[in-house]
Chain A
Amino acid sequence: MTDAVLTVRELRVRTRGDAPLALVDGVDIDVGLGETVALVGESGSGKTMAARSVLRLLPANVELTAGGLSAVGTDVLAADGPALRGLRGGRVGMIFQDPMANFNPVLPVGRQVTEPVRIRQRMSKRAGDKLAAEVLGHVGIPDPERRCREYPHQFSGGMLQRAMIAMALVNRPSLVIADEPTTALDATLQVKIVKLLRLLQSEINAGILVITHDLGLVAELADRASVMYAGRIMETGRVGELFARPLHPYTRALLDSRPEGRTGADVRAIPGEPATPATRPGGCAFHPRCRLRVERPAADQARCVDEVPVLRLVALPGTTGTTGSTPSSSLAACHFATEMLTVGHLAQPRADHVPPDPDSAPVVTVAGVSKRFVTKSAWSGRRTGVTQAVDDVSFTLGHGESLGLVGESGSGKSTLGRMMVRLIEPDTGGITVHAQDASPVTGQQFRRTVQWVHQDPYGSLNPKMTIRRLITEVLARYRLASGSRAARVTELLGLVGLPPDLAERYPHQLSGGQRQRVAIARALAVEPRVLVLDEPLSALDVSIQAQVITLLRRLRADLGLSYVLISHDLNVVRTICDRVAVMCEGRLVEVGTVDDIYDRPQHPYTKTLLSAMLNVDPEDRAVPASPVTSTARS
């Protein structure tokens, strides 16, 4: 490592008040010049708090203590106002997650981008405009002279994220902190942003601290990574080693629950919910979810509950010296980390899904469906635009089949999904749903046969009703299970893996994963044959995503359901679906089996989508990674 641009020791962030919660609990971070370090973890693990501590940009109700905190040669803990402002936007640039929310809506983008310069030196308006155009052009925004005078709402999300990067780098900082820089973006844009970040980093040779929950981004961007859980670092090491040989059960579990490059059968969910500062268990914070612990003798198990494991170097027997590879630089906070070198898979194998017979009778036939939207000006009522959201789309969905509907946002996936559940009517063409005996179903029966599961379960669950009422209401509407509704609610909750006592809670008392399960249970209440799932996983954490994937696969096998899975995440689609339909600008450009689409894509657009997947193994990068690859190369 070269010169350190960030050194954090024993960082603690606590809420103020009588019963303080530890949000960050003793974290060390080191970033050197030119180096990229990732802080990975599920949401709520304290990544953002740790990142913001570096510039002391914390909410008023939390307090920060640290054994040491120095950024680009400044002692942040001792810094006064002017010294801090010198760091912020000067020697340290910060990139945030949601570009739309992080630009002031009433000021031109160019002025905001150059603000870190303009508050430090006097600058004429012309010089400011010139600088804005120059830096925006540099991050790949076309026609920057014009665009720099435009406002944030006139930019797309991807363009705005580029502008935010320009803003963070405009003073050529030595340290860049990027908090979830790609999370708010479409897959195709994520790759472009990652490339841009790497390019710019090589230009200004800054150290980057990147905060993310996305292991694909870590593999693509980072040299080293620290895995965070419940405010603590579980494992830290070089990215190549971390991916090839995880030394902490949590790292291993995270890697195993990735949908990337898997077919679904080997996606393994981490049981339970991520710990929050309020629910963090004693001892090892991960112990209620840990598979390694379960396999240990009782005394060892008790140790996990009682004693907090410290982060320490794990000795690798056999590997060091013999093959001439670099010794491990990984530290893990697990009492039994060395066991991780020997144990095999930490999970039970799962029964695999049998793809349906392609000739089986279809449940849904979509024939030549089109839909256009006309937007009208609010003042004059004149047409201002016509969007052909869906354009002459035809396909069939077989019994027990899962069809993935993929494409960028705006490609018409959701509109097609909404037509399939009759939330909107097509302009032309027809959607037929067949009963068991192949006869078309209509009216009320249609709504029972095809159910819709929404992207944002929180928005679709009435917050004033208990889970029991939410489900009972659906049963009542279709006059189902009268007399035994309480039992049916319990049965439905059991079906999606939720305990019966959860029925008395309100939606806001549930976690995101639980809410998504409730939404699925409610859809199942009417015994549908088809579920249309619109981005069912996009709001969930990796480990929870894996749980829902597993659930969907099991339900399909148990209940003989067919799925239409709408997603922009090709990795998720691959884990669940049998066939994939690729949509682009309202048209279906390619339909095929999962293997065909992923291994032998025909249409150029499909190829673009696939190349945009952030699932590159760290070995594909220039960084020498695991011993195996480095020996192979030498």
Chain B
Amino acid sequence: MAGFVGRRLLTLIPVLLMVALITFGILHFTPGDPTIAILGIDATIEQREELRAALGLDRGVVEQFLNWAGGLLRLDFGQSLYLRVPVGEAMLRYLEPTALLAVYSLVVALLVGIPAGVISGVRRGGLIDRLVMGMTVAINAVPNFFLGILVIMFFSVQLGLLPTGGYVSPTEDFLGHVRAMILPSAVLGISLTSFARIIRSSVLDVMSAEYVETAYSKGLSRPQVVIKHVLRNAAIPSVTVIGISFGNLLGGAVVTEYVFNLQGIGQLLVESIARRDYPVIQAGVLLSALLFCLVTLLVDVIYAYLDPRVRYGR
């Protein structure tokens, strides 16, 4: 297993290199000028040229890329053009709310989605099944921002129980952190529970497998069959789907971050694009790619744990 993980980590290098090259290329060949974003539309040509030289934007594209790439090797992502702080520092600050939000909503989604999916699969056509299936349709149909605004109106504005938005770091004020994160995690988590459908359909698949019938023929009761034979097999196809949605969350749940004003990485990236803040955009895209690859790797490890056929490379 260690060798497998090691090899997979090595393959990250070319992937990230490609991502770096492509984002750099796209950014530098799309129109738009960071100096206008920084100095405003009224700045004179001379002012802009001056800033351009100061930021190193007057050098050749190749030279700029080599500079940047060389910095990457030293984990130096450059200086944000707009925020005027090192990019690495900015990223870390904005990553914290995003990562925590992703983890919390994943937990919410798993706590709700797994039991819902399993029960509706096992008792197909029953009351819970129909309820769960109806809910997942409704949840999919309601956009996140709308749900977010609704819960803010109700819990924060009407009842005044929770803050309307903003992020509080757990190291500063843990209770404040919890209060700030309850609504966004619930909204995002609930919107993810549509994977209950996937769990349900894998449970249905597995329930009709012959080895499940064999299990009944050995005298197992239905709960025993589900727990010992169905769950693990049904988890195998679900893990990928859950992993991919988690990977997407890490790249920033932009809409939710905006609605709850969490100052997350998604929000930072969108704003940086408007500001033509090249170093931040590049680092942000690289970071998303890296996190996504790591999640995929984690999914594969979980896969191998669940499925001996993968573990023993059949």
A residues at B contact (CB < 8 Å)? 55, 57, 81, 85-90, 94, 96, 98, 101-107, 115-116, 119-120, 151, 153-154, 167, 377-380
Contact = CB atoms under 8 A, between A and B. Distances in A.
Contacts of A104: 211, 214-215, 229, 233
A81 B221 contact: yes
B233 A378 contact: no
Interface of B: 4, 7, 209-211, 213-221, 224, 228-229, 232-233, 236, 306-309, 312-314
A380 B6 CA distance: 12
Contacts of A89: 217-220
Given A96-B210, A153-B314, A379-B4, A105 B218 contact: no
Given A88-B216, A120-B219, A379 B232 contact: no
Given A119-B224, A379-B4, A105 B309 contact: yes
Contact of A57 (B213, B233, B309, B314): B213
Contacts of B216: 57, 88
A119 B210 contact: no
24 contacts: A57-B216, A85-B220, A86-B219, A87-B219, A88-B216, A89-B219, A94-B214, A96-B213, A102-B211, A104-B211, A106-B306, A107-B228, A107-B229, A115-B220, A116-B219, A119-B220, A119-B224, A151-B312, A153-B308, A377-B313, A378-B313, A379-B7, A379-B313, A380-B7
Given A378-B313, A379-B4, A94 B217 contact: yes
Contacts of A106: 232-233, 236, 306-308
B135 to A, nearest CB: 25
Main SS at interface, chain A: loop
A96 B215 CA distance: 12
Contacts of A81: 221
A26 to B, nearest CB: 25
Contacts of B219: 85-90, 116, 119-120
A550 B246 CA distance: 61
A102 B214 contact: yes
Given A104-B211, A105-B233, A105-B307, A116 B218 contact: yes
B233 A119 contact: no
Nearest to A120: B219
A557 to B, nearest CB: 43
Contacts of B220: 85, 89, 115, 119
A376 to B, nearest CB: 11
A101 B209 contact: yes
A119 B225 CA distance: 11
Nearest to A108: B308
A57 B211 CA distance: 13
Contacts of A115: 215, 218, 220, 228
B218 A119 contact: yes
B307 to A, nearest CB: 6
A106 to B, nearest CB: 5
Contacts of B233: 104-106
Contacts of A94: 214, 217
Nearest to A151: B308
Nearest to B208: A59
Contacts of A167: 218
A38 B229 CA distance: 31
A-B pairs with the 3 shortest C-beta distances? A89-B218, A89-B219, A151-B308
A96 B219 CA distance: 15
B308 A105 contact: yes
Given A151-B312, A378-B313, A101 B211 contact: yes
Contacts of B228: 107, 115
Nearest to A82: B221
Given A87-B219, A107-B228, 16 more contacts: A55-B217, A85-B219, A88-B218, A88-B219, A89-B218, A94-B214, A102-B210, A104-B215, A105-B211, A105-B307, A106-B236, A116-B218, A119-B220, A120-B219, A151-B309, A153-B312
Contacts of B313: 377-379
Contact of A96 (B214, B306, B308, B312): B214
Contact of A101 (B210, B218, B236): B210
Contacts of A85: 219-221
B78 to A, nearest CB: 35
A91 to B, nearest CB: 10
Query: Which of B209, B213, B306 has the largest count of A CB atoms less than 10 A from its CB?
Result: B213
Nearest to B236: A106
A128 to B, nearest CB: 14
Contacts of B312: 151, 153-154
B202 to A, nearest CB: 13
Contacts of A103: 211, 214
A279 B217 CA distance: 31
A120 B218 CA distance: 10
A293 to B, nearest CB: 39
Nearest to B8: A379
B217 A57 contact: yes
Contacts of B217: 55, 57, 88-89, 94, 96
Nearest to B314: A153
A299 to B, nearest CB: 48
A33 B38 CA distance: 93
A385 to B, nearest CB: 11
A154 B312 CA distance: 9
B306 A98 contact: no
A104 B224 CA distance: 14
B279 to A, nearest CB: 35
A616 B211 CA distance: 33
Contacts of A119: 218-220, 224
A87 B219 CA distance: 7
A105 B4 CA distance: 22
A378 B4 CA distance: 12
A17 to B, nearest CB: 15
A57 to B, nearest CB: 6
A87 B218 CA distance: 9
Nearest to A86: B219
A105 B7 CA distance: 27
Nearest to B210: A101
B170 to A, nearest CB: 38
Contacts of A98: 210
A383 B257 CA distance: 49
B305 to A, nearest CB: 10
A151 B233 CA distance: 14
A79 to B, nearest CB: 12
A94 B215 CA distance: 10
Contacts of B213: 57, 96, 102
A151 B312 CA distance: 9
A408 B203 CA distance: 37
A37 B306 CA distance: 41
Which residue, of B213, B217, B221, has the highest number of chain A Cβ atoms within 10 A?
B217
Contacts of A380: 7
A486 B228 CA distance: 57
Contacts of B215: 104, 115
Nearest to A103: B211
Contacts of A120: 219
Contacts of B306: 106
Nearest to B209: A101
Contacts of B211: 101-105
A90 B218 CA distance: 7
Contacts of A86: 219
